[in-house]
Amino acid sequence: MKSIILYTPEVERAIEHGTVLVVRPVKGMPVPFPESGLDRVCGVDRATSELVLEYQVTVDDTNEHRIRCPFGGPGESRWVQETRWCCGGYVADGPCRAKYTGKRSGKIPSCCVPRGDSRLTLKLLGVRVPQVQDISEADAMAAGSRPITGKLPRVVCGEEINLNCTARELLCVRWDARYAKRGFAWADNPYVWMGKFEVVT
């Protein structure tokens, strides 16, 4: 069984409520799209969760190109790597209690958390591949974002968020903080994997 890394406490908390959407950019998509020879995105093969792309080779002939889903196929399970505190416990559960335990503070990145420290196993229910700007407010909330309201602006990922920020707007800020420098900026509207998972354990 492979692992899946959850990057934020928000997503980790959302997953504990039963189901969650995990959103990742589609890597391997030919760019720029019109010049690649691709005619269209055909959709997701439900049996394998692969993204199917169609090349228009000649007027009468087409070829398929498939991109494998990083989440695996429907029904496959993944164990979860969560960010942990060095003093024990998970970041998703609240602040570090180092001053009460006498242990050192600091975080253990999720990518470094071993299988034995995993407390969650997820099963893939299904996959969609929309463009990132097609993500709805409901999708953003299922992915762990929450609307922000209050009297004072907040800073998220180095950006000052205005009052009454929607969950989708917050997801946009977090998305660009993680993926813009990798060539998947929100403004470029890349295709994304949206995997719906349920908690098994």
29: tokens are 């998509």
- The predicted pLDDT at position 65 comes to 76
**pTM of the model as a whole:** 0.78
Task: Let me know: does 190 contact 184? Beta carbons within 8 Å.
Answer: yes
Match 């242990």 to its residue by tokens: 103
Cα distance between residue 141 and residue 150, in whole Å: 18
Residues 6+ apart with CB under 8 A from 148: 154, 161, 163, 164, 165, 170
- The predicted pLDDT at position 137 comes to 92
The total number of residues shown for the chain amounts to: 201
What would you report as the CA-atom Rg of the chain, rounded to the nearest whole angstrom? 19
- The predicted pLDDT at position 15 comes to 73
Contacts of residues 15-19 at CB distance under 8 Å and 24 or more positions apart, as own/partner, are: 15/80, 15/120, 15/122, 15/144, 15/197, 15/199, 16/92, 16/120, 16/199, 18/198, 18/199, 19/125, 19/142, 19/196, 19/197, 19/198, 19/199
Cα distance between residue 124 and residue 200, in whole Å: 10
Q: For 143-198, where are the alpha helices, taking DSSP H only?
A: 167-179
Low-confidence ranges of the chain (pLDDT < 50): 31-34
